[in-house]
Structure 1
Amino acid sequence: MKRDPITTTYDKPPAFVADCSRAPDSRESLDRAAHAALARLSGGLSPAALCLAVFDWAQHFALAPGKWIELTAQLAQDNTTAPVPVSGDPRFAAASWNDWPYCVWRDGFLRLQQWCESATTGVRGVERHHEDVVRFGLRQMLDALSPSNFVLTNPAVIEETLRTGGANFVAGRQHWIEDLTAMLARAPGKRQPGAQAFMPGCDVAITPGKVVYRNDLCELIQYSPSTDTVAREPVFIVPSWIIKYYILDLSPHDSLVRYLVSEGFTVFMISWRNPGPEDRDLALNDYLSRGVLDALAEVRKRCDATPVHAVGYCLGGTLLSIAAAMLARDARADELRSVTLLAAQTDFTEPGELGLFIDASELATLDALMWEQGFLDGSQMAAAFQLLNARDLIWSRLMSEYLLGRRSKPNDLMAWNADTTRMPYRMHSEYLTQLFLRNDLAEGRYCVDGRPVALSDIEQPMFVVGTERDHVSPWRSVYKLHLLTHNPLTFLLTAGGHNAGIVSEPGHAGRHYRCGTRSAGASYRSRHAFFNETEPTEGSWWPRWSQWLHEHSDVPVPGRVLDDALPDAPGTYVRQS
């Protein structure tokens, strides 16, 4: 009998994804053990994937004499009159880099960097993913060789050494010892010195509230009102479980939760439990059913069955979009009044540089490592994110703290970033394969309860936020939701990166945003047209979003007072290490 190819793709995972419903046989266990051993040596990266990329590029580059001529001409031009782009590179910000001989070393390095960029791009016949991998790998090597990383070729270090009599090296050595000790201890609160000064419930995550619901996967926090009346519709926030929830409730001055409460909203937030090896079989749909849907039911129960303003951040936004599509499919769309997605992808065809780590070979290696551990550790995930922006997050920091002896001043965002979490094996494998690799959600293959969900079923108005310098959820990828839906959609692009762009409180210097709205059923406007035709507005985007929420809310009701007998926020799960 002929099989239905579409139905088959719903249920058939790629060969490297383990079937968690059955125990592996001895051959599978042996294969996974070999992959896991390799993954430990390579930091979770696949040497095979890198070799394939280099071979693809090298083979086609060898057959590109026109490219050789172009690169030779560029090399000759670079040594004569070509300008060197220096502005914006923090490694060479000191004025002394303009002095001889440091300017020679700097300009030579930047020209080499430009030349290598040209050599690894535009080679006819190279697969795009392989091109990206080769360019990324070469950039990592060049960043390590930058003259800013060495004492004798960095004028700022030499000046500081002369000024302090070498005290900068003494301080740098102490910083190195502190960081090494914290890394070996694997204590999240000590990953960055000074971060332990910002503890949840004491310095951050201190907006008054109560834990109103708890199961084995999450706690639900309801925040106390600070206004006499509130919008009838509550705001229900689903953060990512890749991070601790209090990125949205940092210190009082930059807490999005506190801001929403002050704007007259009843705010609920999920706090996810930090999983351990025993949670290896938690699935993505467990986070949907026992996380989002159970918490949503409790929110509506406590607010007289009122439809809610649902908000999702990062992976929490991706999961919320699945939930909204599922509710629409099951004739339960009236449970949501609106949907807001903050730096969240729904189409993964352009995941940015994070896609460098997503191919069949890489996922086979990572899958084996997670199978052995039962989870993906936060430090392993943090290392991948640091590589994406190694120039600023690794090399510039090492120069400042170890060569100049200067510690970055600790802040709440630094403390939160050090407070890492873990990813259950099964959930993370499903997320990477079904969403990142196969793009099942955008293409209508992602199933909930055995039936696919479609984002085009969502009718509620949406507010979607992207950030200009996002390495995790590039705004061009976030913008693709316009192609998958036909409902009213307001898209806002704000300054900053994946985290700092969202934590953009009023009064924060240097902030701006662009905002445009597509009415229901309107024709598509490209992302380039949006960016070029939409004038930037100075300031924080929070007031613009608050205004939008109020515009989509019903008449106010008295502030919802919490029972004093309930446990206080931030609860217990956020304190798990």
Structure 2
Amino acid sequence: MTRPVPPLRQGPRPLGLHLSTVMTTLLGSSAGLPHLRNGSPLWRPQLRGRAAELGRQVAEAGADAFRTALDREVRRQLDLLLTGLERYRHHPYRRDVDDPPVLWREGGSRLLDYGPPGGRPVLFVPSLVNRGYILDLSSDRSLMRWLAGQGVRPLLIDWGAPGPVERRFSLTDYIAGRLERALEVAADAAGGPVPVAGYCMGGLLAAALALRRPRLVAGLVLMATPWDFHAEDAGAARRAAAFFQPFGPLVEAWGELPVDALQALFAQLDPYLVLRKFTQFARMDPDSPAARAFVALEDWLNDGVALPAAVARDALAGWYGRNDPAAGTWMVAGLPVDPARVVVPTLALIPERDRIVPPASALALARAIPNAQIVAPPLGHIGMVVSAGAKSGVWRPLADWLNAAG
């Protein structure tokens, strides 16, 4: 019997944006050469020295020779990029783990129970933007399954894609409604209060939950959780908020901010990341563990979900634009989210190489919570949960803290 051919992957999303960015940059290199030679570009101060040195090298090599070398390099980069994209889209890897049993379900959301039955339940809260299975990525890169072998019973919220009900949700609906009910189910399974761990945006939700339901929360774990959105680059945060403004009425009418719009926002953090990633992937052995790990992570990155309109407005205009959390003006169900009032033991895992949540942004939250313990692994935002160094840098300290808190 012939097995069906899996569909081509959609990513990297939005593909048109990534391709146009790379093509414009690479193909525009030759057009910029005359300006480099006559010194006409207005360089940033920190780039003037490098530009002058490049101009000197061009003069020494000769314009024709340099143009030939430049054209050759442009073709090489484009070839590697397109080769990497094609290999990724046709790669045979598919996620090799099944979801565990569902302990609770409401609307499009589920509470996944990773066991073991005798372990201490811990509620894990992922972001609303990306799917929660980054914490259960594959058979050999799963924080949830590893913790289940360390005496912990992870209960992971899978928010699901927004349906007709969720499209009307605000952050208050998620936190004071669905998340609180999931906490009650976890506490029933534990027979008492449970630790709550939030990853990225999920940490903001978890912090608000700990303030609202302290009697059911035994401890709080914040994993790469932003708080001061203007800590390192207020301009970039405000630009992200400004991106939403022209589309606000359309998003409100539609009921959600589409996945590709969210991915376009993330692309602003590093417009040429796709070029670097896929040219590197083109050089990999497609059957190697490194190639399979790349595909697994890239599949997750491209498997995002839309954000309900009110949540998008609260996050982009409120968090990124006005910096509501750090300003003390973020409200959930009419009450301010004040980290100084968190009374439960708290662990803040703040990766030093995080480019998505700058460490200064996460530190602002940890320092505002009384007696919060801070661990700063030398990892990135996603690497803290799936990289080769994640087990020693994050998984083991997290398990030790959870077991000690019990």
- State whether TM-score is above 0.5: yes
* Deviation sequence 1:63-91 (CA, Å, 0-9, x none): xxxxx999599559944999x9xxxxxxx
| Most deviating of 344-353 and 424-433 | 344-353
**Distance change (3 Å), C-alpha of 1:217 and 1:291:** farther
Aligned twin of 2:97: 204
Question: What CA distance in whole angstroms lies between the structure 2 residues aligned with 1:323 and 1:339?
Answer: 10
Aligned with 1:546 (options 384, 399, 405): 399
In the alignment, what sits opposite 1:490? Answer: 373
Q: What's the counterpart of residue 291 of structure 1?
A: 178
Aligned equivalent of 2:342? 458
RMSD: 3.9
Asked if 1:387 corresponds to 2:280, the answer is: no
Q: Give the residue type in structure 1 aligned to 2:356.
A: V
Q: 2:352 aligns with which of 468, 480, 486?
A: 468
Task: Answer yes or no: is the 8 Å Cα contact 1:237–1:312 preserved in 2.
Answer: yes
The amino acid across from 2:93 in the alignment is A
Equivalent-residue separation in structure 2 for 1:390 and 1:151 (angstroms): 22
Q: Cα offset for 1:338?
A: 0.8
Pairs within 5 Å for 1:388-407: 388-391=269-272, 393-397=273-277, 399=279
Change in Cα spacing, 1:351 to 1:358, as seen in structure 2 (3 Å) is farther
* Alpha-carbon distance in structure 2 between the residues aligned to 1:428 and 1:326: 22
Pick one of 169, 175, 198 that aligns with 1:282: 169
Change (3 A) 1:271 1:295: same
**Contact 1:375 1:423 (8 Å CA) reproduced:** yes
Matches within 5 A, 1:310-459: 310-327=196-213, 333-350=214-231, 352=233, 355=237, 357-359=239-241, 361-391=242-272, 393-397=273-277, 399=279, 409-411=291-293, 412-459=296-343
Amino acid at match of 2:101: K
1:499 pairs with 2:395: no
User: Match for 2:110 among 202, 216, 219?
Assistant: 219
1:481 matched residue in structure 2: 365
Matched residue of 2:231: which SS? coil
Deviation at 1:346, TM superposition (A): 2.3
Give the aligned partner of residue 32 of structure 2: none
**Residues 1:286 and 1:394: Cα distance change in structure 2 (over 3 Å):** same
C-alpha contact (below 8 Å) 1:205/1:246 kept by paired residues: no
Q: In the superposition, relative to structure 1, how do residues 471 and 72 fare at CA in structure 2: closer, same or farther (>3 Å)?
A: closer
- Cα-to-partner distance string for 1:518-547 (whole Å, 9 max, x where unaligned): xxxxxxxxxxxxxxxxxxxx9433112211
Q: Take 1:438 and 1:338, find their aligned partners in 2: how far apart are those partners?
A: 29
d(CA) in 2 for partners of 1:72 and 1:259?
45
Give the distance between the partners of 1:382 and 1:292, measured in 2 at CA.
25
Name the residue aligned to 1:135: none
1:144-177 deviation line (CA, Å, top 9, x unaligned): xxx99x652359x39xxxxxxxxx95x976776x
The whole-number CA distance in structure 1 between the counterparts of 2:327 and 2:363 is: 16
In structure 1, what is the equivalent of residue 119 of structure 2? 230
Instruction: Name the SS for the 2:237 alignment partner.
Output: helix
Any conservation in 1 of the 2:152–2:399 contact (CA below 8 Å)? Answer: no
Q: Could you tell me which residue of structure 2 aligns to residue 309 of structure 1?
A: 195
1:272 is matched with: 159
Task: Give SS of 1:480's match.
Answer: helix
Higher helix share: 2
**Displacement after TM superposition at 1:398 (Å):** 5.8
- Aligned pair in 2 of structure 1 residues 539, 277: CA closer, same or farther (>3 Å)? same
TM-score, normalised by the number of residues in structure 2: 0.75
Mapped contact 1:211–1:220 kept (Cα < 8 A)? yes
Once the two structures are superposed, what CA deviation does each residue of 1:196-239 show, in whole Å capped at 9, x if it has no partner?
A: 7324xxx1355xx311111114111112318xx534xx211011
Opposite residue 447 of structure 1, the aligned amino acid is M
Give the letter for the 1:255 counterpart: S
Letter in 2 for 1:378: V
Letter in 2 for 1:542: W
Q: Distance in 2 between matches of 1:105 and 1:429?
A: 49
Amino acid at match of 2:73: T
Deviation at 1:342, TM superposition (A): 0.8
CA contact (8 A) 1:193 1:410 kept: no
Distance 2:205 2:74 in 1: 47
Higher radius of gyration, 1 or 2: 1
State the alpha-carbon separation in 2 of the partners of residues 296 and 244 from structure 1. 19
Unmatched tracts of structure 2, length 5 or more: 1-15, 18-41
Q: Deviations over 1:14-40 (max 9, x none)?
A: xxxxxxxxxxxxxxxxxxxxxxxxxxx
The 3 A distance-change label for structure 1 pair 255 and 445 is: same
Aligned pairs for 1:75-86 within 5 A: 75=49, 78-79=52-53
Distance 1:470 1:277, change over 3 A: farther
Q: 2:73 aligns with which of 139, 153, 158?
A: 153
Aligned residues: 357
Q: Residue 388 of structure 1: SS of its match in structure 2?
A: coil
Measure how far apart 1:399 and its partner are.
4.8
Q: Deviations over 1:486-534 (max 9, x none)?
A: 2x21112223322122224xxx2xx38xxxxxxxxxxxxxxxxxxxxxx
- Displacement after TM superposition at 1:370 (Å): 1.7
Q: Is the 8 A contact 2:147 2:399 kept in 1?
A: yes
Q: Note closer, same or farther for the CA distance 1:369–1:375 as it changes in structure 2 (3 Å cut).
A: same
- Identity, % of aligned pairs? 24
Q: Contact 2:224/2:381 (CA < 8 Å) preserved in 1?
A: yes
Distance 1:69 1:241 in 2: 40
Kept in 2: contact 1:348–1:439 (CA 8 A): yes
Distance in 2 of aligned mates of 1:377 and 1:351: 27
Matches of 2:66 and 2:277, distance apart in 1: 21
Please name the residue that 1:243 is paired with. Answer: 130
SS of the residue corresponding to residue 248 of structure 2 reads: helix
Maintained 8 Å contact 2:346/2:372: yes
Q: Deviations over 1:445-502 (max 9, x none)?
A: 233332323211101111111223322211111011244222x211122233221222
State the distance in 1 between where 2:47 and 2:299 align.
49
TM-score, with structure 1 as normaliser: 0.54
Extract unaligned runs of 5+ from structure 1: 1-41, 44-67, 85-99, 107-146, 159-167, 180-191, 328-332, 513-537, 554-577
Task: Report the CA distance between 1:377 and its aligned residue.
Answer: 1.5
Q: Could you list the per-position Cα deviations for residues 416-443 of structure 1 after superposition, in whole angstroms to 9, with x for gaps in the alignment?
A: 1221211111111112222222233333
- State the partner residue of 1:563: none
Q: Secondary structure at the match of 1:241?
A: coil
